[in-house]
Structure 1
Amino acid sequence: MPLSIFGFQALWSPYLIGVIVFLIVVYFLVTVVWRKDFKVSEPLKKSEATYFLLAMILFYIIKGSPIDLMSHIMFTYHMVQMAFLLLLVPLFLIKGIPWWVWKVMIEAPVVRSIFKIFTQPVVSSFVFALMFSLYHMPGVFDAIKLDETFHGIFTFFLFLSAFFMNWPLVSNIPGQKQMKHFYKIAYVIANAVLITPACALIIFNPNPMYATYTDGEAWLKAMELCVPAATLSGLSLSGPELFNNMKPLEDQQLGGVLMKIIQEIIFGIVLFKVFRQWWRQEKKDDHFITEKSLREFQAKKQSQQF
């Protein structure tokens, strides 16, 4: 059965397009037009604008395109959506917003305390792993999918935990303590390990775990998260099997595997960049030490001549 029966709004989320366009306009107003209103600022870099636009485009693709609709039909699409939403979009956002804008935001009285606690590497790692694992517990997952308000609140805090988890890796605000390269490597590995049990439970469970992908009534109720109720009421649907040829258990296992693969790829790229930065820093430091030693030797030699 074609997805077009759910209508244009469910397929392309026109309201989300409006929100994203609004955010892009505000971004360029703040970073270009209103930049001089900040006490400290720098011209917007092309790389920063590129990262922010990538974040907005990626967010729309995974939450506004037919991928979002398919995530309510197939668990595989849900896990792919989660992987990019939690592991890549926060990275792009952190790198896309200039440091001097971040500095103003995170030094606000209330925000400062929150950041100080939840961006601590140990805290951010465990909170994200806990939120991700809790989200995918069968009873919790179905409850989230069946209540629009609960879904919105829990997804927001899950994304926030992912943002805090990514912050120590890529934040570069002058004056703030930066994590050393060796600790960044250990941090990435630790995060990969901590969410492995949740993925393993999904992959190796011998039975389908989620009623919203197996029970027709629960699935139809969950579809209200992305399809207008008026549209659903006019359709005669029995369950997700109308749009999916995979068995529920196979769909669940594939989703868990893809989540783990995408996570490993993203973390692998992050590790590569950390290694490269570390190598460049070490090479720069070695060059600096060599030049300094040479100057000291020459100065000592000249003083001995006199």
Structure 2
Amino acid sequence: MPLSIFGFQALWSPYLIGVILFLTVLYFLVTVVWRKDFKTSEPLKKSEAIYFLLAMISLYIIKGSPIDLMSHIMFTYHMVQMAFLLLLVPILLIKGIPWWVWKVVIEAPVVRNIFKIFTQPVVAAFVFAMMFSLYHIPVLFDTIKLNETFHGIFSFILFLAAFFMNWPLVNKVEGQPKMKNLFKIGYIIANAVLITPACALIIFNPEPMYATYTDGEVWLKAMELCVPSSTLSGLTLSGPELFNNMSPIGDQQLGGVLMKIIQEIIFAVVLFRVFREWWKEEHTDEEAITEKALRDFQSKKQSEQY
């Protein structure tokens, strides 16, 4: 059955397009037009603008395109959506917004204390792993999927936890604590390990875990998160099997596997960049030490001649 039966709004989320356009215009107003109103600022870098635009495009593809609709039909799409939303978009946002804008935000009275606590590497890693694991406990997952308010609140908290988890890896804000590159390597590995139990439970569970992808009535109720109820009321649907040829357990297992694969790929890219920076720093230090030792030796030799 074609997805077009759910209508244009469910497929392409026009309201989200409006929100993303507003955020994009606001971004360039703040970073270009209103830049001089900040006490400390720098011209917007081309790389920063590219990262931000990639974040907005990725956000729309993940939450505004038919991928979002499919994430309510197939668990596989849900996990792919989670992987990119939680592991890629926060990095693009952190790198896309100039450090001097972040400095104003995170040094605000209330925000300062929140950042100080939740961006500590140990706290950030465990909170994200905990929130991700809680979200995918069957009882909580089905409850969240059936309530628009719960879904919005929990999704925001989970995204915030992902943001804090990624912050120590890419933070470049002056005056903020920065993790050494060697520690970042261990931090990336720890994050990969911490969400493995949740993914393993999903992958190796012999039975389908989520009623929102297996029970027709529950699934139809959950579809109200992305499809107008007026549209659903005019449709006669028995369940997600109308749009999915996979078995529920196969769909669940594939979703868990893809989540881990995408996570490993993203972390591998970040790990490569961190390792490269660490290698450059080490060799730069070695060259500086060698040059200093050579200068000291030459100076000592000249003094002995005199």
Bin the TM-score by the shorter chain.
over 0.9
2:236 counterpart residue number:
236
Deviations 1:119-161 (A, max 9, x none): 0000000000000000000000000000000000000000000
TM-score by length of 2: 0.99
2:49 paired with 1:38: no
In 2, the alpha carbon distance for the partners of 1:38 and 1:294 equals: 45
Deviations 1:229-256 (A, max 9, x none): 1100111111000000101000000000
Count of paired positions: 306
Q: By how many angstroms is 1:295 displaced?
A: 1.9
1:108 counterpart residue number:
108
Q: By how many angstroms is 1:175 displaced?
A: 2.2
TM-score by length of 1: 0.99
The one-letter code sitting in structure 1 at the alignment partner of 2:143 is A
Q: By how many angstroms is 1:302 displaced?
A: 2.4
Equivalent position SS for 2:17: helix
Q: By how many angstroms is 1:182 displaced?
A: 1.4
1:146 counterpart residue number:
146
Equivalent position SS for 1:175: coil
Q: By how many angstroms is 1:303 displaced?
A: 2.4
In 2, the alpha carbon distance for the partners of 1:191 and 1:265 equals: 13
2:12 paired with 1:12: yes
Deviations 1:73-99 (A, max 9, x none): 000000000000000000000000010
Equivalent position SS for 2:206: coil
Structure 1 unaligned spans of 5+: none
In 2, the alpha carbon distance for the partners of 1:119 and 1:299 equals: 47
Describe how 1:65-104 pairs up with structure 2 within 5 A.
65-104=65-104
Q: By how many angstroms is 1:176 displaced?
A: 2.0
Q: By how many angstroms is 1:301 displaced?
A: 2.2
In 2, the alpha carbon distance for the partners of 1:121 and 1:153 equals: 24
The one-letter code sitting in structure 2 at the alignment partner of 1:205 is N
In 1, the alpha carbon distance for the partners of 2:47 and 2:66 equals: 29
The one-letter code sitting in structure 2 at the alignment partner of 1:19 is V
CA RMSD, 1 decimal: 0.7
In 2, the alpha carbon distance for the partners of 1:177 and 1:227 equals: 44
In 2, the alpha carbon distance for the partners of 1:114 and 1:96 equals: 21
In 1, the alpha carbon distance for the partners of 2:154 and 2:176 equals: 30
The one-letter code sitting in structure 2 at the alignment partner of 1:156 is F
Structure 1 stretches of 4+ with a deviation exceeding 6 A read none
2:250 counterpart residue number:
250
